[in-house]
Amino acid sequence: MKDIRYSQAAKKFRKYFISSAVGLSFINSIYGVGGIFMTSYLIYLGVTAPQIGFLAALPNLTNIIQVFSILAYRKYKSRKKVLMALRAAQYFFMYLVILIPRMVTGQYQFAVVAACFFFGHVFRAIAGSGAIDWNNMFVPPEIKGRHFSKRNLIGNASYVVISLILGQVLDAYDKNYMAYLIIMLVTIIFVALELYSYSRIDDRCEDLETAQPIKIKEMLSRPFKNKVYMAFIYFSLSWMFARSLAMPYYTFYSKAVLLLEYTYIAAMGSIIAVLKILVAGVWGGRGDKNGWRKILAFSGYAFAGANMLWAFLNTESLFLYPVVIILTGIFMIGANITVFNLNFELSPNEDRLLYFGFRAAMIGIFSFIAPNLSGFIVKFVTPIDIRIIGFPINGYQIVFFVSALLQFVAIRQFVVYLKHKELRERHS
């Protein structure tokens, strides 16, 4: 029987997955806490930095539910139907983030915003890694790195256009509710693009139809029996905890502390997106050819070092801002692509969704704690006058420094583990 991954139909389906990535990238750039649109909107609503940290942590908290996503797919025996229904429910609540706060003001407004974010991300979490697992069914292993790099590349290309437009609009119509509403309505086009793309892809649910029932106890215990994947989970926990300490605050810091305009922030974001387009295929091709451990060591260390530079950014060192943005963008895409592919490489083929969901749930717990912890640090340090060699240090810079240091430690430990694992396998 011919392998579906090498068929002409699979080639067509891979193109639809890429077009779905365009729609998803646009929507995520709008509704992601930390992006320029949502940061601008939350500032417009009067949301504080610790509250932004809390909202940024909500997706991580709801990721805990992802461990049960395999139950939804097995119950309805369809990746397509389950994924499309959950995406529609997710976007419904994301739109309410823009609509409801206009009707609810005062002390309950933030609670309503948080509730909309929470329920939207609950449905996103239940959808889990269904789309990625589904996409993977149509990708030959020898081009996996290049395919998913291309998927990422197309998403970044759409981000270039989005950032340039959003920067201009938000600077011109900052604190204008109608501007936020119109931008929200435009995203409906991209929601339709994503859902249409899914509708054109073969469901391929034979594995779900023949799958044996699985108990919750077994779901929670099975990953612990796979020592290699558990090592990957431990790395993922520490790395994402470190990144999540600082992730929600980069754009907020750029606007509120460095006093940069949205147009400038967006322009830099577009330059990074172009650079990601240029290097994504290189990272993916190198990983397919040379192995992902070497790519992780290089890109991971460099990414941590680039993030460390955020700790040295203030209003007197703005000349460093483009350097920091460019370096973090180039090495972030390499690190992300590597970790993404290692998730496939180190997980077993059978019940892969179970392992993906378990990892996402574990990461969710720690990544929820991290932004709230860093928000507390910023709030605690802000009234204190801290100086090092005469230079003033704020709470954000402390968070950026600690985040980068912990990223370096996490990468170091896992790279050493993979190296030792390879040596043991050679001599066994």
Q: What is the mean pLDDT of residues 161-173?
A: 72
Q: What is the mean pLDDT of residues 260-282?
A: 79
Give me the pLDDT at residue 351, please.
Answer: 73
User: pLDDT digit string (tens) for 294-338?
Assistant: 888 899 999 999 999 999 898 888 999 999 999 998 898 889 888
427 vs 196, which has greater pLDDT? 196
User: pLDDT digit string (tens) for 103-125?
Assistant: 887 788 889 889 999 999 889 88
pLDDT at 428 over 70: no
C-alpha distances out from residue 378 to 53, 381, 393, 394, 428, Å: 10, 5, 11, 8, 50
Give me the pLDDT at residue 27, please.
Answer: 81
Q: What is the DSSP string of 349-375?
A: STTHHHHHHHHHHHHHHHHHHHHHHHH
Give me the pLDDT at residue 425, please.
Answer: 45
SS3 152: helix
Distance CA 345, CA 141 (A): 10
Task: Establish how many alpha carbons lie within 13 A of residue 178's alpha carbon, considering only the half-sphere containing its beta carbon.
Answer: 2
pLDDT at 30 over 90: no
Q: What is the mean pLDDT of residues 370-399?
A: 78
pLDDT cut 70: percent of the chain above it:
89
Pick from 295, 300, 261: nearest CA to 413: 300
pLDDT at 362 over 70: yes
Q: What is the mean pLDDT of residues 38-50?
A: 84
> Sign of the C-alpha dihedral, residues 409, 410, 415, 417?
positive
Distance from the first to the final alpha carbon of the chain: 35
User: pLDDT digit string (tens) for 62-108?
Assistant: 888 887 888 888 888 888 888 999 999 999 998 898 887 778 877 88
Q: What is the mean pLDDT of residues 270-290?
A: 76
pLDDT at 391 over 60: yes
* Token pair in block for residue 175: 């604190």
> Going by C-beta distance under 8 Å and a sequence separation of 6 or more, which residues neighbour residue 73?
79, 82, 130, 208, 353
Q: What is the mean pLDDT of residues 406-411?
A: 96
Q: Side chain identity at 44, as an amino acid letter?
A: Y
Q: Other CB atoms closer than 10 Å to residue 319's CB: what's the count?
A: 8
pLDDT-derived band at 174, boundaries 50, 70, 90: low
* Token pair in block for residue 129: 């890694």
Give me the pLDDT at residue 401, please.
Answer: 93
CATH class of 4-423: mainly alpha
Give me the pLDDT at residue 256, please.
Answer: 83
Give me the pLDDT at residue 163, please.
Answer: 67
Q: What is the mean pLDDT of residues 385-400?
A: 77
For residue 386, the 8-state DSSP code is E
pLDDT-derived band at 155, boundaries 50, 70, 90: low
Q: What is the mean pLDDT of residues 28-44?
A: 81
Q: What is the mean pLDDT of residues 378-383?
A: 77
Distance CA 368, CA 52 (A): 12
C-alpha distances out from residue 219 to 87, 115, 126, 268, 345, Å: 24, 29, 15, 43, 20
pLDDT-derived band at 186, boundaries 50, 70, 90: confident
352 vs 196, which has greater pLDDT? 196
Determine contact, residues 361/65, Cβ cutoff 8 Å: yes
pLDDT at 171 over 70: yes
pLDDT at 143 over 80: no
Q: What is the mean pLDDT of residues 174-194?
A: 85
Q: Would you list the domain boundaries of the chain?
A: 4-423
